[in-house]
Amino acid sequence: KQEVTQIPAALSVPEGENLVLNCSFTDSAIYNLQWFRQDPGKGLTSLLLIQSSQREQTSGRLNASLDKSSGRSTLYIAASQPGDSATYLCAVEVWDTGNQFYFGTGTSLTVIP
């Protein structure tokens, strides 16, 4: 069974700092990987989706990379802002007996003004 791990579980940085969040998965047979943002008590918002054939995706200050062979992905956030404070989760889409998404437990990010 696919297992997704995110390190660190929590991160606190001063405003303006660049940071990297890590995601690892145990089975490299994935369709794609997505990074999500979740604010307290809310649903998840998809930030970036990387297809299994791609190496990275960028959106604004966010850059996500994927190394499928090693089972790793990183989310790079440039010039962090207090509004970036949230929990960031990664998820891989696989084919089991149907399409399923397996989620990590997330990294809780706090950006200090």
Partner 1 sequence: DTGVSQDPRHKITKRGQNVTFRCDPISEHNRLYWYRQTLGQGPEFLTYFQNEAQLEKSRLLSDRFSAERPKGSFSTLEIQRTEQGDSAMYLCASSLPPFRENEKLFFGSGTQLSVL
Residues that bind partner 1 (CB under 8 A): 4, 31-32, 34, 36, 41-46, 49, 89, 91, 93, 96-106
Nearer to partner 1, 2 or 74 (CB): 2
Q: How far is the CB of 23 from partner 1 (least distance, A)?
A: 11
The answer to whether 21 and 6 have CB atoms below 8 angstroms apart is yes
Nearer to partner 1, 42 or 55 (CB): 42
Name the strands in the sheet holding 4-7, side by side, starting at the edge strand that comes first in the sequence: 4-7, 19-25, 72-77, 62-67, 56-59
Q: How far is the CB of 38 from partner 1 (least distance, A)?
A: 9
The answer to whether 80 and 15 have CB atoms below 8 angstroms apart is yes
Nearer to partner 1, 36 or 77 (CB): 36
Phi, psi (degrees; rounded to nearest 5) at 61: -85, 5
Nearer to partner 1, 65 or 107 (CB): 107
The residue type found at 7 is I
> DSSP label at 52?
T
Q: How far is the CB of 51 from partner 1 (least distance, A)?
A: 8
Distance between CA atoms of 101 and 94, rounded to whole angstroms?
6
Q: How far is the CB of 112 from partner 1 (least distance, A)?
A: 21
